[in-house]
Amino acid sequence: MRLEDKIAIVTGAGHGMGESMARIFAREGAKVVVADIAEEDGGKVAAEIVAGGGDAIFVRLDISKESEWAAVIAATLQRYARLDILVNNAGVSGALPDLNSLADYDRLMTINARGTFLGMQHALPEMRKAGGGSIVNLSSISGIIGQTNVHMGYNGAKAAIHVMTKAAAVQFAKYGIRVNSVHPGLMPPMRSGQAGADPTARAKALEAVPLRRAGRPEEAAYAVLFLASDEASYITGAEIVVDGGYLAL
């Protein structure tokens, strides 16, 4: 198994890509801390992993709150004694009705960029103690290009995640800690961005995807799995784009 006996925190693991990551990690031998603000959904994912023979716990997490990050790390150490992997997956969508809202800008930056920073800030000391680890941050193609139908605060936050990943990679490599990012393209709509679920808008967006379809959650999850695993032991500060060829145009 690719993550045998690894201890992994996956944020936003109650649904979508995060849920897929948590389940795949567990199947690959990891002990998974399912972290999500949605307690019912996250608790169900953890319970189903355990029922299937895996090892998982659920911990509530609002990624924008430092105190809740401290609680997740404490719960992880209490149960498993160390931390090997952090996947900063949780975030909110930029597919919003008003693309010029300051309130939405503040929310996007606070949750997506600050939340990712807080995750790294709290995980890195524990990984140093353990002698190494792997962090995978979920950015987006929106962190690489501008878009006409996405709030610029989303692009800004995802770009911040992209470059923070590289900064952390070069600063913490000497401790055996690898930090990489995954950049999904068109995926199933996020719960926090139902404007992105409009069928007409999605059909138009698909016209620009060479593979002519949206990605599946597990397709992003397997990219994360690779970067989290020892198979990527000489990869840090890198990005994997999972977009059906969109950025290749």
Q: Which residues are catalytic?
A: 154
Using DSSP, state whether 14 is helix, strand or coil. coil
Structure tokens at 78: 């209490």
Residues 197 and 212: their CA atoms lie apart, in Å, by 17
Sign of the C-alpha dihedral computed for residues 86, 136, 6 and 55 taken in this order: positive
Q: For the beta carbon of residue 40, count every other beta carbon within 10 angstroms.
A: 9
Sign of the C-alpha dihedral computed for residues 120, 123, 127 and 132 taken in this order: negative
CB 223, CB 20: distance < 8 Å = no
